[in-house]
Amino acid sequence: MRLSALGDVAKIVAFVLGSFLLAALISPPLYEMGKGFAEVVLKKDTADELTWLAGKAKKAEFDVYFKRALMLSAVILIFPLIFSLRLRMDPKRLRDTPWSVYLPSSAMVQTMGQPLARVRFGFLQSIVGFLLATGLFLAMAAVLFSLNWFHWKVPPTSEQVTALLPKAAKPAFFASVIEEIVFRGALLGVFLRAFRPWVAIVSLSFLFAAVHFLQPPDGAVVSDPTSAKAGFEMLRLIALRFLDPQAMLYEFASLFLIGIILAYARFGTASLWLPIGLHAGWVFGFKLFNKMAQRRSDLPKDFDVYMGHDLKEGILPLIALTITGILVAFYVRMIRPSPPETEASSA
């Protein structure tokens, strides 16, 4: 590995930590601004859009403002990160970076990093990934219904399902495309230049899980949202999730396994088509099911270890993800181009 490549990995970790620290600093003033905006707008006859936004700002608690501050912090700090990585648009200089697309489709791995390859009919890989992830996800949901662990919020009708499909498809599309470009496109390329493939995959998957896991807990409350220390108090509540064995088993383990599967799909195909399809399938199935069903409230607490309060928590989701990963590995081996025959083997 090269020291410069390790430096790039360190910059990415610093970017994540810096985003959380900046969010802790700006979330209290953002909270006060939001509440002040709501108070002023709701007293006046303004446009419907402003009234809607003011209503949201008034109802939102501090944890929501912290999430928005975290998103804003990431946007602010992404620009110095990009400049520090010294990305260039010159194709000749891009050959040694993970953003190069000038790699023959037959080539899978290079000594340093792995540029994305041009893949013919890559859209078909996305379709396969989507059907695989959604199919196994909904199959697990069907098992939970057969065990009477979940029930419908409202008996589903064809009209209701038709109305919910776009609401589940929209976040599935945008989340999968954006996150795969960032995590498996750019960041995994940087990690592959610094580490051996499996070390890179595991390291980035841990970072992927941590970023998604380190969110304000549901119902998290700080003592004084207007205090300058409120953001750091929220950071402490977030960090305490790592000390919660149930949260680590139910959620972090699933996120980590998802990251492993997506990173392997990207590495095995040298493209983003398959991971985008898998990611979209999981988000689509999760959103659709959560809008239509919920876990029975009278289940004993002991059932939490097998199935949490949604389809990403517990042992059963981990089993479903493991099966998905095995099938993805078989699919990657099936579509991977065979290495060219050597002169010795053809003689």
Long-range contacts of 212-221 (CB under 8 A, 24+ apart): 212/255, 213/241, 213/247, 213/251, 213/252, 213/255, 214/20, 214/238, 214/239, 214/241, 215/67, 216/63, 216/66, 216/67, 217/63, 217/241, 219/63, 220/62, 220/63, 221/61, 221/62, 221/63
> What is residue 344's predicted lDDT score, i.e. its pLDDT?
42
* Structure confidence by residue, pLDDT tens digits, 91-144: 444 444 444 444 444 443 344 567 777 777 888 999 999 999 999 988 888 888
Q: In the prediction, which pLDDT does 342 show?
A: 42
pLDDT, tens digit, 9 for 90 and up, residues 172-190: 999 999 999 889 988 888 8
At 288-312, the pLDDT tens digits run 888 888 888 887 877 777 787 777 7
pTM comes to 0.81
Percentage of the chain with pLDDT > 90? 31
Query: Could you read off the pLDDT of 246-259 as tens digits, one per residue?
Result: 777 778 888 999 99
Average pLDDT, the chain: 82
Flag the least confident range among 66-70, 133-137, 212-216: 212-216
